[in-house]
């Protein structure tokens, strides 16, 4: 029975309700060795489904096939972190694939201003193109935003993008969070909230409404502070949910239920993909 002894003591209770990891990269190679077995384990711990965003064109087709016949939803996008791997014509390819298949969102894409400044103009161009495509296809987006919360909010306003989405791994200020919520976005809360140095983020989460938050692990990346294994797993979501419950002074079930409902309201097709009733 892994991890159960690590659940923090609190008044919160978890009745075993189903949960969804709103952002993980379960398609990454590091899961190749035991993906099926690991999925069985996740299900035993109440995982109802996963949302897996694509990050480079090369992986899209495999991702679509991988999610076939599983309660795993996918999104397709061109991540700013992999600028050097994106090619001319990838956005056109994205449009065709999105029309032929049914991603629940476009993403993950966005702006990462922790990268060198000489990449900014290319990042902005690619980000705008994907916003425009999502608007055209009436799909929500999954955003990667680092050191550029104000810039992304300005872009959303300028492009009049109104399909909403998730700002994954949110770590901005309360004001930045509220601005994004006003623009129709949910804020993804993940492993960062578990680290001892993340006092500011925990204070921010305390002030943001639960009905604008979604839980995510970003596994295999963003290992939570308490995670002993070399790769992060969607399983860490339960512990992240417990931390959020402690911050919000509510019970674990409320955090999980609220995260599920927020995500399903944004992406109604996800409910069909996840056949279990939630
Ligand atoms: Zn990601």
CA of 167 to the centre of ligand 1 (A): 10
pLDDT at 2: 39
pLDDT of residue 13: 59
pLDDT of residue 7: 41
Tell me the CA–centroid distance for residue 76 and ligand 1, in Å: 11
Q: Strand 141-146's sheet: what is its strand order?
A: 19-21, 47-53, 72-76, 105-112, 141-146, 165-168, 185-189, 213-215
List, as ranges, residues with CB under 5 A of the ion ligand 1: 218
How many whole angstroms from 56 Cα to the centroid of ligand 1?
Answer: 11
The phi, psi pair for 194, rounded to 5°, reads: -85, -15
Mean pLDDT calculated for residue range 147-165: 98
Both tokens assigned to 76: 């397709």
Quickly state the pLDDT bin for 9 (edges 50, 70, 90): very low
Rounded to an integer, the average pLDDT of 231-253 is 95
From the centroid of its chain, how far is CA 177? 15
Determine the average pLDDT of the residues in 64-74.
94
Q: What is the mean pLDDT of the chain?
A: 93
CA of 24 to the centre of ligand 1 (A): 6
CA of 25 to the centre of ligand 1 (A): 6
**196-217 confidence digits (pLDDT tens):** 899 999 999 999 999 999 999 9
Q: Which pLDDT value is given to residue 102? A: 85
Does residue 104 have a pLDDT over 80?
yes
Instruction: Give me the pLDDT at residue 230, please.
Output: 86
């Amino acid at each position: 029975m892994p991890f159960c002894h690590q659940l923090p003591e609190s008044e919160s209770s978890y009745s075993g309700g189903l949960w969804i990891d709103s952002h993980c990269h379960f398609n990454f190679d590091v899961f190749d060795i035991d993906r099926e077995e690991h999925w069985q384990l996740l299900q035993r711990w109440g995982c109802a489904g996963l949302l897996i965003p694509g990050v480079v064109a090369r992986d899209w087709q495999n991702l679509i096939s991988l999610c076939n016949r599983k309660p795993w939803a996918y999104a397709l996008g061109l991540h700013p972190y992999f600028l050097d791997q994106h090619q001319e014509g990838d956005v056109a390819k994205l449009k065709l694939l999105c029309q032929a298949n049914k991603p629940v969102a476009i993403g993950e894409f966005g702006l990462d201003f922790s990268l060198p400044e000489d990449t900014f103009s290319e990042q902005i161009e690619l980000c705008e193109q994907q916003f425009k495509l999502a608007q055209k296809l009436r799909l929500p987006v999954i955003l990667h935003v680092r050191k550029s919360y104000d810039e992304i909010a300005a872009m959303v306003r300028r492009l009049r993008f109104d399909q909403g989405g998730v700002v994954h791994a949110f770590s901005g200020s309360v004001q930045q969070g509220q601005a994004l919520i006003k623009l129709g976005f949910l804020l993804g809360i993940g492993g960062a909230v578990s680290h001892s140095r993340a006092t500011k983020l925990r204070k921010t989460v305390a002030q943001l409404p639960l009905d604008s938050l979604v839980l995510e692990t970003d596994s295999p990346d963003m290992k939570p502070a308490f995670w002993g294994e070399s790769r992060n797993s969607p399983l860490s979501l339960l512990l992240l949910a417990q931390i959020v419950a402690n911050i919000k002074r509510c019970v674990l079930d409320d955090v999980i239920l609220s995260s599920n409902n927020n995500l399903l309201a944004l992406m109604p097709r996800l409910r069909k993909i996840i056949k279990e009733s939630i």
